[in-house]
C-alpha cells in the first residue's frame, strides 16, 4: 500500500517528463478522435475479502467519437458472482467537452459526463458503483491539465443508486447517494523521441479514487498503479492494480487487477 502511494506522489511531483492524456481507471476531459469507433474489453479480477475467491467481471464496450466534443459509449456487464459467467446489465455513457484552452505544449480542458445503468445483480456492498454493480446514474465534471508534458486530471461526480432488476431492492438502511472524487497523473516512458506514429508507447500512471456517502458519513480511498501500451496509435493494452487505502464502509472485493484491450477505427463513420 505504501509502495503504491509512493508511486502516485512521485508521478504527481514529476515536472520535466513526457506524458499523454490517457488514464486507465478514469476518463480525461479530452475525447477520442471525431468520427472514430472503438471497442474496449475490460477484465476485472478482484479478490473477495472474506473467502479469498476471485470475482471476475467482464465489461465489453462500444465507443463512438461523434465529433471533437462529444463521445458516446454503450457498455455491458457480465460476472461470475452466480458461479458462472452471466449477464448482469447495460449502461450508456456520454461525455461532452465544453471548455478548451490549447496552447503550445500545454492545454487545459473541461468536460461534463453522465452514465445511466441497469443492473440485475444482488446488492452486496455499501459502495455505490453504477459501472457494473448498481442500477442508477452518475453525472460529473472532469478537468485535465497538460503542462510541460505532465498530465494531471481530476473528477468530481454525484452518483445515485436505485434497486436492481430481478427483485433486488436497494437496502433501506444504506445510503443511495454518493460523491466521487479522483485525481490522476501519468507520463510517457517510451519512446524517448518520436519518429513515427507506429512507434509503441509505454505510459505509467497512478490514480487516487475516492467516494463519500454523505448521509451515513462513510467513505473510502483507493490508490492504483498502471502500465499502458499503445501500438500503432490505435491499439491499447492497460494493466493496472487497485489497492484500498482506507474504508469504513462495507466493500466485498476492493483490491485486484484490471486488464483492458482497446482498439480504435479512425474515420469509421463518414
Sorting pLDDT into bands at 50, 70 and 90, what band is 1? low
- State the Cα–Cα distance between residues 234 and 159, nearest whole angstrom: 31
Q: β-strands 70-79, 54-65: how paired?
A: antiparallel
Residue 211: all three cell numbers together? 467516494
Residue 52's pLDDT is what?
Answer: 79
Domain residue limits, the chain: 2-265
pLDDT digits (tens, 9 = 90+) for 213-233: 999 999 999 999 999 999 998
pLDDT surpasses 50 at 6: no
Instruction: Please state which of the four CATH numbers 2.40.160.40, 3.90.226.10, 3.40.228.10, 3.20.170.30 is assigned to the domain occupying 2-265.
Output: 2.40.160.40
Residue 69: all three cell numbers together? 466534443
What's the DSSP call for residue 168?
B
Length of the chain: 270
Residue 210's pLDDT is what?
Answer: 98
pLDDT digits (tens, 9 = 90+) for 92-145: 999 999 999 988 778 899 999 999 999 999 998 999 999 999 999 999 999 999
pLDDT surpasses 90 at 13: no
3-state secondary structure string across 111-141? EEEEEEEEECCCCCCCCCCCCCCCEEEEEEE
Chain center to CA of 250: 21
Q: Mean pLDDT, the chain, as a whole number?
A: 89
Amino acid at each position: 500500500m505504501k509502495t503504491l502511494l509512493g508511486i502516485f506522489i512521485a508521478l504527481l511531483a514529476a515536472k520535466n517528463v513526457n506524458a499523454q492524456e490517457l488514464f486507465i481507471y478514469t476518463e480525461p476531459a479530452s475525447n477520442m478522435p471525431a468520427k472514430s469507433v472503438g471497442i474496449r474489453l475490460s477484465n476485472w479480477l478482484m479478490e473477495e475479502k472474506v473467502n479469498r475467491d476471485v470475482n471476475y467481471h467482464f465489461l465489453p464496450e462500444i465507443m463512438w467519437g461523434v465529433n471533437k466534443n462529444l463521445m458516446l459509449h454503450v457498455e455491458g456487464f457480465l460476472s461470475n458472482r452466480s458461479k458462472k459467467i452471466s449477464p448482469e446489465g447495460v449502461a450508456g455513457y456520454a461525455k461532452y467537452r465544453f471548455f478548451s484552452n490549447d496552447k503550445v505544449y500545454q492545454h487545459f480542458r473541461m468536460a461534463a459526463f453522465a452514465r445511466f445503468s441497469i443492473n440485475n445483480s444482488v446488492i452486496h456492498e455499501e459502495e455505490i458503483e453504477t459501472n457494473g454493480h448498481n442500477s442508477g446514474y452518475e453525472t460529473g465534471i472532469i478537468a485535465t491539465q497538460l503542462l510541460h508534458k505532465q498530465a494531471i486530471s481530476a473528477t468530481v461526480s454525484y452518483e445515485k443508486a436505485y434497486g436492481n432488476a430481478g427483485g433486488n431492492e436497494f437496502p433501506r438502511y444504506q445510503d443511495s447517494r454518493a460523491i466521487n472524487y479522483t485525481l490522476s497523473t501519468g507520463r510517457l516512458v517510451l519512446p524517448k523521441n518520436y519518429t513515427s506514429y507506429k512507434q509503441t508507447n509505454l505510459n505509467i500512471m497512478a490514480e487516487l479514487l475516492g467516494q463519500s456517502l454523505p448521509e451515513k458519513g462513510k467513505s473510502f480511498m483507493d490508490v492504483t498503479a498502471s502500465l499502458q501500451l499503445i501500438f500503432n496509435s490505435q491499439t491499447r493494452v492497460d494493466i493496472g492494480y487497485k489497492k484500498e487505502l482506507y474504508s469504513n464502509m462495507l466493500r466485498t472485493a476492493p483490491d485486484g487487477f484490471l486488464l483492458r484491450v482497446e482498439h480504435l477505427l479512425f474515420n469509421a463513420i463518414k
